[in-house]
Chains A and B, each alone.
Chain A
């Protein structure tokens, strides 16, 4: 702001000075013209006329002969000053016949034909006054700007602080346990609103995760307590019965099986957590999804046949390459195949089909079993969620959760669909970028 004011001042002063210079030049040209046309007498007359104090002009004139005796003009004597570098003389005017006090004057002089010397100048009192007015005006406007700026700044920062304070209060409430609270939005779409939106989105996500976690913890507690309870009562009952090595052996075998089941559940939970933590850990390698599907089908074909099912694989001619961890993916897809084999009644068919869809490779496991109602198709991916119909069959309700975690870790999707009739589980995985034909 100061620089701007300085610029205004500078421009104005330069302009005024320039005006003065031009006025003096014009005056000299005019007088020289008079002298040429009307001679010395004419010049004297003109100067006398122009320097008449009645006219109130700020122009200064002095005409002298060779010895600097004044002939005409409103200066009493020749100022004894050197000419300055810019060709102007500047001197103090001792105000006789002048309006007020000593001023600075600016003048130039030259010698006319016949040794007559002419000095034309201008009293700079007006210039100075003008300059002073400019300074005063600039100073007051500057002061006004400073004051307004301060007031504006205070108002703005108070508003900003007030909104930060709102956010602070909201966080305090949330920390105090009101997890449903959100930072109010002003609807202005400014940075504060965007910050508030982001904070709210973050809080929503945390709340969702917490809800998910709470549900999982509840489920773990529930689903692990029952087998532990069974395990305990089996041992207890065995101890109540009359001692029998044979009986003890039986119970211990069953206990081991139960413990193994519990351990498998824990392992699955840890694997899901690991996959959801989302670091693919450098085990990703190129993988032909077609060959992968054929290998799995090879493993499950006999058990499918045992259950009276026909298991088929359809993979198309060429390889369909994805990048993946074969071990993790095999667990995920094996689970889909196992579900199909488990829940499809004898006489049915399970079809594994691998193809591509745009930039994605697609692996579908379709059966013509009972299927899953549309409303449940998303929920079965939740940990420990089991359909009523499957409660009686073996399983821990974690297979699909693990499958989803693994597929997501690979940047893919997994969804259940209606196979009309039956269930179709569809996994998509990003196709591996064309590897250079080396």
Chain B
């Protein structure tokens, strides 16, 4: 994938570009807002990683300018501003996701890949299919192979989110934000327990597990 990083902090940018390249992406870098906007409008990118505070031009102004010119490239906003307010403002301006500095690179990668998938798909399905797992979004039913699986509403939402990101890592923070709409760090392993309950239901009795724990990063649902 071709990515654009707009970040004025040299070291942070170098680290980010290196990490993204090692993950197999092509990366362009702009060190200020004007250059960033110019690159973003003249070339096609699959996603843009945009620092919020930039010399020359505010990050939010860049997103707004892109959206105003019908450019729908997914944008992940990075910011040192951690308040929910700032997050809301960032998303309102047209950003697709918002990540607070300092962040874990694994978190950034997981979110970025989720954005890239959203950019590719985007149409509203009524059925999700991951391997032998079938999720009917209208009837709210789940079956694996021939077996019907009974899920609680929250387990269904959790599985739906994992299935939409099938094959990719989703972090605990992403789950807490997307499934429960909470923006805090739980001091207990709440998410892990939810996952292990879900795992009980969809993997128990089957030869191969579908729901995997990715150490130090999060979880991944993939075809067995």
Contact = CB atoms under 8 A, between A and B. Distances in A.
A289 B209 CA distance: 39
Interface stretch (B33-41, B132-140, B143-151, B183-191): B183-191
Interface residues of A, number: 32
B24 interface: no
B69 interface: no
A270 interface: yes
B182 A283 contact: no
A302 interface: yes
A267 to B, nearest CB: 6
Contact of B186 (A256, A327, A338): A338
Contacts of B184: 327, 330-331, 334
Contacts of B201: none
Contacts of A263: 102
Contacts of A335: 187
A331 B84 CA distance: 12
Interface string A410-438: 00000000000000000000000000000
The majority secondary structure among interface residues of chain B is: loop
Interface string B84-117: 1100100000000000001010000000000000
Given A253-B216, A256-B216, A334-B182, A283 B188 contact: no
Interface residues of B, number: 22
B188 A325 contact: no
Given A253-B216, A256-B216, A302 B193 contact: yes
A303 B189 contact: yes
B194 interface: yes
B82 interface: yes
Given A299-B182, A341-B188, A267 B82 contact: yes
Contacts of A341: 188
Contacts of A325: 84
Given A283-B84, A399-B187, A327 B193 contact: no
Contacts of A274: 83
A391 B183 CA distance: 26
A96 interface: no
B18 interface: no
Given A267-B82, A298-B154, A303-B188, A327 B197 contact: no
B104 A270 contact: no
A260 interface: yes
B180 interface: yes
A264 B102 CA distance: 10
Interface string B162-200: 000000000000000000101111111110011001000
A283 B88 CA distance: 10
B159 to A, nearest CB: 14
Interface in A322-342: 325, 327-328, 330-331, 334-335, 338, 341-342
B190 A303 contact: yes
B188 A342 contact: yes
Contacts of A331: 184
B194 to A, nearest CB: 6
A300 interface: yes
A395 interface: yes
Contacts of B193: 302-303, 306
A80 interface: no
A55 interface: no
Contacts of B83: 274, 281
Contact of A328 (B84, B104, B186, B197): B84
Contact of A260 (B104, B154, B188, B190): B104
Contacts of A299: 180, 182, 186, 190, 194
**Interface-centre pick from A260, A295, A303 (highest chain B CB count, 10 A):** A303
A253 B217 CA distance: 11
Contacts of B185: 264, 267
A299 B184 CA distance: 13
B182 to A, nearest CB: 5
Contacts of B190: 299-300, 302-303
Contacts of B154: 298
Nearest to A260: B104
Interface in B33-78: none
Given A295-B180, A303-B190, 15 more contacts: A274-B83, A298-B154, A298-B180, A299-B186, A299-B190, A300-B188, A302-B197, A325-B84, A327-B84, A327-B182, A334-B182, A335-B187, A338-B188, A341-B188, A394-B187
28 contacts: A260-B104, A263-B102, A264-B185, A271-B82, A274-B83, A281-B83, A281-B85, A282-B85, A298-B154, A298-B180, A299-B182, A299-B186, A299-B190, A302-B190, A302-B194, A303-B188, A303-B189, A303-B193, A325-B84, A327-B183, A330-B182, A334-B182, A334-B186, A335-B187, A338-B187, A342-B187, A342-B188, A399-B187
